Amino acid sequence: MIELRQDRLGFRFPDVHRDATVSVEFQRTLRIPDDGHHYPLPPGLGRFPIRHVDDFAGRVPERWIEHGGVMLPMYQSEALWVNFSGPYPCAIKVAAGKIDAVTGKELRPGLARRPQNYLVTPEQPWLDGYCVEKGVIRQFVAMPLGAGYSAEEQITGEAEYGGLQIVVHPMTAEACERLRRRWEDRVMCSAAVPRLARTGMVAGMGMGLAPGGRMRQEIFSDPHHLEDWDQEHTNRCFVHLANSLVWRQVTGHEPPTVPPTAKEYSKAGLPWFEYYGAGEAAVEGSGILAKLKSVVQMGKEKGDVPLPENEPVMAGPVVELRKGLGKDEVREGRF
């Protein structure tokens, strides 16, 4: 069962376990410079508005109705990150244009370990882009579908799907109960770490996600056994990306304002973030995704300047976020 409430997708598996649920939301954020440097995590600037595609039949492409799901608005060259929250362990596959964001392979049913084609929550609190190296991702950046920039188009040569695809498998009830017993004197997972800054059919409306700037982010290896995941029960959702410039025409609602640039944000002295796990191993980056051209690299080949405001910035101050520490818990360091 999938529910849309307050611009969040809730994936629930009552047939597996009463607590088997995970929430997924899509955060607006700064587009980091696509300049070859490695940047820390940019902030969340609030959730994207999400709507049911079925509510706008006749005003969205027929393929969107065929795929079902939801839609959200993005400006060209805008960035996003995906936030996961909930205490029940889940294995989540994230694909863009049906290209797995972790492996670079085409989306297929089922979970695999070699290479690992999914994320594990609550260990993995978010995903900002394509896993191109161990500890490095390239940021998700929206570009018009059909322009050749998206990972889907670079890998398959087609602009067929666009958008994002989310597939969730819960942990089996038996495995979850074993985990609870092992951790009976501890909190099974920490609350989501805050990363929020305090601060008729329309042609050509579809957007795909292209690889943008480089960011320091680990995709954690699965600490559980593959058989701990329930591969018979699954929920999947197609998240269509609509060009913000036509969002009002389709929905009757204004799209969000254009987000600030990284330069404007840094000039204001607002925080960036670094996230540290609790000793988890990270997966190796995808050789397929590592070969993709970034938006700037592809633009140079096309003789185009697709990313305005792409100057390097000094990211700071940087706030360290550490997994698994309650507000009163003291971290034991090296003696």
Looking at 5-14, 85-94, 240-249, 307-316, which range is the least confident one? 307-316
What ranges do the domains of the chain cover? Answer: 2-322
| For residues 31-35, average pLDDT | 95
Q: Which helix (H) or strand (E) holds 237?
A: strand 235-243
pLDDT of residue 194: 64
CA–CA separation, 87 and 191 (whole Å): 8
Nearest Cα neighbor of 88 from 164, 166, 169 is: 169
Q: Is the pLDDT of residue 131 over 90?
A: yes
Please state, rounded to an integer, the average pLDDT across all residues of the chain. 89
Q: Would you state the pLDDT for residue 185?
A: 45
Name which of 129-143, 229-243, 266-280, 319-333 the model is least confident about: 319-333
| Pair of tokens at residue 228 | 């701990």
Confidence of residue 69 (pLDDT cuts 50, 70, 90): very high
Q: What is the pLDDT of residues 237-285, one digit of tens each?
A: 999 999 998 999 999 999 999 888 999 998 888 889 988 776 789 999 9
- The alpha-helical segments, DSSP class H, found in the chain are 62-67, 151-156, 173-182, 244-251, 262-267, 287-290, 295-302
Q: Is the pLDDT of residue 56 over 80?
A: yes
* 21 has a pLDDT exceeding 70: yes
Say what the pLDDT of residue 322 is. Answer: 66
pLDDT single digits (tens) 155-172? 999 999 999 999 999 999
- What's the pLDDT score for residue 86? 93
Number of other CB atoms surrounding residue 156 within 10 Å: 15
Q: In the prediction, which pLDDT does 186 show?
A: 47
**Bridge-partner residues for 317, per DSSP?**
none
| Predicted TM-score (pTM) of this structure | 0.90
Structure confidence at residue 330 (pLDDT)? 46
In the prediction, which pLDDT does 166 show? 98
Summarised one tens digit per residue, pLDDT across range 213-222 is 999 999 999 9
Residues 61 and 77: their CA atoms lie apart, in Å, by 22
Q: Exposed, middle or buried: residue 210 (CB in 10 Å: 0-12, 13-18, 19+)?
A: buried
The predicted-structure confidence for 188-218, as pLDDT tens digits, reads as follows 444 455 676 544 445 568 899 999 999 999 9
